[in-house]
């Protein structure tokens, strides 16, 4: 997929197929979903986060018994109904046989296209959504097991200590309390809107609002230093939006990330109303309200990747983002790009040295493997590039172990 396909303009009446991962849906529901159509004039291609290979490998290493239960649970997604035998059945069969590395090769994709009569884009999107849901299912399993282990440890400790004040908060119970700014009288400030994933008729309404307030509001086709708000469409659930390059740029720039419903209400009420109730709170792939967008907006002084330096060994992010786009996004979040492969970490212990890569093994040579092993032993982290996307979306550095490439 070319770099322009991630964020591109569309002519009127053009269309694209997008598969959306709904919140709370089971794997069998996910895999039975049909593609939907979105038509826009100047839009962004929604991008789904895929399953991270290292997470599955880490889970398997930590607890083989647990991993067996996970596979048993995931195996239910391969049931095929009569109507599906000539459509998604080959995809499910392939996924069942390759659960621990669900990334079909180019030849395998072509075979699946012939068997299902689906396009290359539909095949890619189907597998991307399946990997997202697999990651979500395994994360829930991992969190529950971790919580059970913590409870057992606490009970053991209580036998030896008569009086204990427990101030620990498990990852399941942790809540980030966000302090919302005081309401702003929006009709007293200049607003520059960019938009992503809007239908043609929604873009018309956007320009209609601009015509009502020409001195206060303007529309831009890009997210840049002047942009103040990003309007997101294609909400599968209220205040959950798809992932696009404009969304990543908007979060990195600490913008208001707004639902299209805000535009509708501004027109209905004949006023540019307060944004608070219409701010996007999460993304469709994870299907949860993590408030990463709001966290970014309220933390304009935070430079997300300031303490990180990166060497980009991969070609981009899961075929949806080019290497140049990935590099630009990192620098927008104040990360630095290394020109050469790092053999040792920085002497500053507060700075992380990261190599972004995909599935390093099998290695091209024994010398290459020795080089990478030496680098890792010297404190270099080898991470899947999806770590970048997940950290930006939630505007918090994510744990490395879920994204670490194993070799």
Angstrom distance (rounded) from CA 302 to CA 185: 25
pLDDT of residue 382 exceeding 70: yes
H or E segment to which residue 127 belongs: helix 120-160
How much is the pLDDT for 28?
A: 40
Average pLDDT over residues 86-100: 78
Angstrom distance (rounded) from CA 190 to CA 393: 26
Say if residue 141 is in the same domain as residue 25: yes
Q: Checking DSSP bridges between strand 36-38 and strand 16-18, what pairing results, if any?
A: antiparallel
Tell me, yes or no, whether 118 lies in a domain: yes
Average pLDDT over residues 363-369: 83
Tell me, yes or no, whether 183 lies in a domain: no
Tell me, yes or no, whether 167 lies in a domain: no
Average pLDDT over residues 346-375: 87
Average pLDDT over residues 218-242: 93
Say if residue 200 is in the same domain as residue 274: yes
Residues forming a β-bridge with 240: 237, 282
Angstrom distance (rounded) from CA 342 to CA 58: 24
Average pLDDT over residues 380-392: 94
Say if residue 67 is in the same domain as residue 202: no
The proportion of the chain whose per-residue pLDDT surpasses 90, expressed as a percent, equals: 43
pLDDT of residue 353 exceeding 90: yes
Tell me, yes or no, whether 45 lies in a domain: yes
Angstrom distance (rounded) from CA 9 to CA 129: 24
pLDDT of residue 26 exceeding 80: no
Tell me, yes or no, whether 103 lies in a domain: yes
How much is the pLDDT for 400?
A: 93
Domain final residue pick, 297, 330, 351: 297
pLDDT classification of 359: cutoffs 50, 70, 90: confident
Give the CA dihedral 360, 101, 379, 248, nearest 10 degrees.
100
Main-chain phi, psi angles of 99, to 5 degrees: -60, -35
Domain final residue pick, 248, 265, 297: 297
Average pLDDT over residues 342-370: 87
Q: Which residue has the higher pLDDT, 14 or 280?
A: 280
Tell me, yes or no, whether 104 lies in a domain: yes
How much is the pLDDT for 170?
A: 34
Angstrom distance (rounded) from CA 115 to CA 113: 6
Instruction: Give the rounded distance of the alpha carbon of 343 from its chain centre.
Output: 29
pLDDT of residue 119 exceeding 80: yes
Say if residue 128 is in the same domain as residue 211: no
pTM: 0.59
Close Cβ partners of 69 (under 8 Å, ≥ 6 residues apart): 141
pLDDT classification of 14: cutoffs 50, 70, 90: very low
Say if residue 321 is in the same domain as residue 362: yes
How much is the pLDDT for 207?
A: 95
Least Cα distance to 86 among 105, 121, 122, 112 occurs for: 112
Tell me, yes or no, whether 174 lies in a domain: no
In tens, the pLDDT along 28-87 reads 444 344 333 344 444 555 654 444 434 443 444 444 444 443 343 343 444 444 444 447
Close Cβ partners of 197 (under 8 Å, ≥ 6 residues apart): 38, 40, 43, 44, 46, 232, 233, 234, 241, 242, 244
Close Cβ partners of 257 (under 8 Å, ≥ 6 residues apart): 229, 230, 232, 241, 247, 250, 251, 279, 280, 293, 297
Say if residue 259 is in the same domain as residue 127: no
How much is the pLDDT for 154?
A: 59
Q: Which two tokens stand for residue 294?
A: 């709001």
Angstrom distance (rounded) from CA 71 to CA 177: 36
Q: Which two tokens stand for residue 297?
A: 């907006």
Cα dist from 105 to 2, 115, 126, 222, 353, whole Å = 17, 15, 14, 34, 30
Q: In this predicted structure, which of 12-26, 76-90, 97-111 has the lowest mean pLDDT?
A: 12-26
Least Cα distance to 241 among 264, 259, 227 occurs for: 259
In tens, the pLDDT along 136-192 reads 666 555 556 666 666 665 555 544 433 332 333 333 333 333 333 433 344 457 999
How much is the pLDDT for 117?
A: 86
Tell me, yes or no, whether 403 lies in a domain: no
Q: Which residue segment(s) compose the domain that 353 sits in?
A: 308-394
How much is the pLDDT for 121?
A: 79
Q: In this predicted structure, which of 87-91, 179-183, 234-238, 282-286 has the lowest mean pLDDT?
A: 179-183
The structural domain count of the chain equals 3
In tens, the pLDDT along 205-227 reads 999 999 999 999 999 989 999 99
Say if residue 140 is in the same domain as residue 26: yes
Sequential DSSP letters for 270-336: TS---SGGGB--EETTTTB---HHHHHHT-TT--TTTTEEEEE-SSEETTTEEHHHHHHHHHHTT-E
Rounded mean pLDDT of the chain?
Answer: 74
Say if residue 288 is in the same domain as residue 331: no
Say if residue 142 is in the same domain as residue 11: yes
Rg (alpha carbons) of the chain, rounded to whole number = 23
Say if residue 208 is in the same domain as residue 146: no
How much is the pLDDT for 377?
A: 93
Q: Tell me which residue has tokens 């529901």.
A: 29
Say if residue 338 is in the same domain as residue 264: no
How much is the pLDDT for 15?
A: 39
Given a contact cutoff of 8 angstroms between Cβ atoms, the answer to whether 20 and 33 are in contact is yes
How much is the pLDDT for 69?
A: 38
Say if residue 7 is in the same domain as residue 114: yes
pLDDT classification of 383: cutoffs 50, 70, 90: very high
Domain CATH code at residue 263: 3.40.50.10190
In tens, the pLDDT along 294-306 reads 999 999 999 999 9
For 263-288, b/e burial (b = at least 16 CB within 10 A) is beebeeeeebeebeebbbbbbbbbbe
């Amino acid at each position: 997929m070319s770099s322009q396909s991630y964020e591109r303009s569309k002519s009127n009446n053009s269309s694209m197929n997008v598969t959306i991962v709904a919140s709370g849906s089971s794997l069998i529901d996910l895999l039975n979903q049909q593609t939907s159509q979105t038509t826009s004039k100047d839009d962004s291609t929604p991008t789904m986060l895929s399953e991270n290979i290292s997470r599955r490998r880490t889970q398997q290493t930590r607890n083989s018994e647990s991993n067996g239960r996970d596979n048993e649970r995931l195996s239910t997604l391969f049931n095929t109904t009569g109507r599906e035998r000539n459509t998604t059945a080959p995809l499910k069969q392939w996924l069942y046989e390759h659960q621990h590395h669900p990334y079909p090769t180019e030849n395998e994709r072509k075979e699946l296209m012939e068997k299902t009569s689906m396009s290359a884009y539909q095949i890619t999107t189907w597998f991307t959504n399946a990997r997202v849901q697999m990651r979500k299912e395994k994360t829930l399993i991992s969190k529950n097991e971790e919580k059970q282990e913590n409870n057992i440890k606490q009970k053991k400790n209580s036998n030896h200590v008569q009086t204990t004040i427990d101030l620990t908060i498990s990852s399941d119970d942790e809540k980030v309390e966000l302090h919302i700014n005081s309401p702003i009288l929006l009709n007293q400030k200049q607003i520059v809107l960019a938009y992503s994933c809007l239908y043609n008729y929604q873009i018309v309404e956007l320009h209609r609002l601009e015509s009502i307030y020409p001195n206060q509001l303007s529309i831009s086709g890009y997210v840049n230093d002047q942009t103040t708000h990003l309007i997101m469409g294609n909400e599968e659930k209220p205040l959950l939006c798809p992932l696009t390059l404009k969304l990543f740029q908007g979060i990195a720039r600490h913008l208001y990330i707004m639902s299209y419903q805000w535009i509708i209400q501004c027109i209905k009420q004949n006023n540019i109303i307060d944004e608070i109730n219409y701010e996007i709170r999460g993304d469709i792939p994870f299907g949860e309200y993590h408030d990463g967008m709001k966290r970014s907006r309220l933390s304009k002084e935070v430079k997300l990747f300031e303490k990180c330096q990166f060497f980009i060994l991969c070609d981009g992010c899961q075929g949806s983002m080019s290497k140049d786009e990935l590099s630009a996004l990192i620098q927008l979040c104040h990360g630095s790009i290394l020109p050469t492969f790092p053999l040792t970490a920085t002497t500053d212990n507060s700075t992380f040295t990261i190599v972004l890569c995909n599935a390093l093994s099998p290695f091209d040579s024994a010398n290459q493997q020795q080089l990478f092993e030496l680098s890792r032993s010297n404190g270099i982290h080898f991470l899947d590039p999806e770590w970048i996307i997940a950290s930006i979306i939630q505007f918090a550095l994510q744990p490395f172990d879920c994204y670490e490439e194993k070799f």
